[in-house]
Amino acid sequence: MANVRGIHILAHGNKTLARVIAADINKNKRLLIGVNSMYGAGVYAWYVDKLPERLRKAPQVHFEIDDARIIPITKRDGTKLGFFRIPGSIGDYVENIDIIRFENLRDR
């Protein structure tokens, strides 16, 4: 059982809403499974070393989770796309994540 670190972008970049979401994540150690599900329902996160430059200033939560709980997202040929999904049902929560830190919650 190994852990993987991920970065989840909060509130599609909306910093005001991200601060509210961050408070819930920090208090309850959980991530909400939203309605965007191009590769299936779940929480999507980037591997720490794969976060695209265009998202580096977006509000984010850095966390760790057991790698047995994730599904790496790949192209049809198996090429990894740099992010993963923690599966679940829309509207449910992914519970018991280990929060490392939050970034970019404030305007600069």
pLDDT per residue as tens, the chain (108 positions): 699 999 999 998 899 999 999 999 999 999 999 877 788 899 999 999 999 999 999 999 999 999 999 999 999 999 999 999 999 999 999 999 999 999 999 876
Containing structural domain, residue 45: 13-76+93-103
Does a structural domain hold residue 59?
yes
CB-based contact 102:26 (threshold 8 Å)? yes
pTM of the predicted structure, to 2 decimals:
0.92
Cα(54)–Cα(78) distance, integer angstroms: 24
Residue 61 CB coordination number (10 Å) = 23
Number of domains in the chain: 1
Does a structural domain hold residue 31?
yes
Does a structural domain hold residue 88?
no
Task: Identify the three-state secondary structure at position 102.
Answer: strand
R_g (Cα) of the chain, nearest Å: 13
Does a structural domain hold residue 8?
no
Does a structural domain hold residue 57?
yes
Does a structural domain hold residue 69?
yes
pLDDT given for residue 91 in this prediction = 92
pLDDT given for residue 34 in this prediction = 83
Does a structural domain hold residue 46?
yes
Does a structural domain hold residue 43?
yes
